[in-house]
Structure 1
Amino acid sequence: MIRTSLAVSALLFAVCGTASAADNAALKKCMDTANTTADMVNCNAKETKVQDKRLNTAYKTALAAQEGARKQQLQDVQRLWIKYRDANCAFAGSATGGTIDQVNGSGCVLDMTQTRAQELEDLVGP
């Protein structure tokens, strides 16, 4: 059972906690100097703020580009996406009951927010 929990934790950390660091110099630098779980969570939270601003800008731009029923559809999809992200990352952030869950949960929010921002930016093109 412990091996399974550790394997799940490692997998979640690999998927949720580090994917953005590989592509983001500021996050990588922060994570490289993080000495504690709290430091790692703070790194994720700091970058999540940056990506959340990006997401909001992309959402407003994408919404303005929609017409008619598509505008309402995008609003509905975005609300559902937020619920999904929050539920998904709460699940990822509670896998083992250990402190690494905090890193996994915050990394999940960061990764999903960054990915969604890109999806919204892609709706309106470069």
Structure 2
Amino acid sequence: MNRRIVALSALLLALSGTATAAGSSPALQQCLDAANTTAAMLGCNAQETKVQDKRLNTAYKTALQAQQGPRRQQLQDVQRLWIKYRDANCAFAGSATGGSIDQVNGSGCVLDMTQTRAEELENLVGP
């Protein structure tokens, strides 16, 4: 029983550090605070990832429209490569131990990287 409590505490600590690192939303933090299972934590990450993915797609479309000439194609190429990198990087992060923490780490990685990329794309065109 004590091992389960310690493992869950470590899992929550690892996840909260990941969420905070990306400047998570209050809704995500509230969800994570209430989550007491791996499945619940994954649900929280999935919910916020949908929000950030929508943000990323909007930022990408705006940034793409702002580009001219060869820069437009370059941005398309870069974005395709970034998606491949994100997926490979997060698959790697999500396979480190073979335990349930891997799923949380992998989904947290996708969330963090998606949020960061959305910010990068937003910064291409300014506020």
Write out per-residue CA displacement over residues 2-41 of structure 1, whole angstroms, 9 at most, x where no aligned residue: xxxx9xx98xx46973335753100000000001001000
- Give the count of matched residue pairs: 117
**Cα 1:22/1:115, change in 2 over 3 Å:** closer
In the alignment, structure 1 segments of 5+ residues that lack a partner are: 1-5
Counterpart Cα distance in 2 of 1:49 and 1:92: 20
Contact 1:44 1:107 in 2 (8 A): yes
**AA matched with 2:49:** T
Counterpart for residue 50 of structure 1? 51
Counterpart Cα distance in 2 of 1:15 and 1:122: 26
Contact 1:17 1:103 in 2 (8 A): no
**AA matched with 2:63:** A
Contact 1:22 1:28 in 2 (8 A): no
**Cα 1:15/1:87, change in 2 over 3 Å:** farther
Counterpart for residue 74 of structure 1? 75
Counterpart for residue 120 of structure 1? 121
Counterpart Cα distance in 2 of 1:35 and 1:21: 21
Counting aligned pairs with the same residue, the percent is 74
**AA matched with 1:19:** T
Task: List 4+ stretches of structure 1 deviating above 6 A.
Answer: none
2:99 equivalent to 1:98: yes
Contact 1:85 1:109 in 2 (8 A): yes
Write out per-residue CA displacement over residues 95-124 of structure 1, whole angstroms, 9 at most, x where no aligned residue: 010001000000000000000000000000
TM-score, reference length from structure 2:
0.85
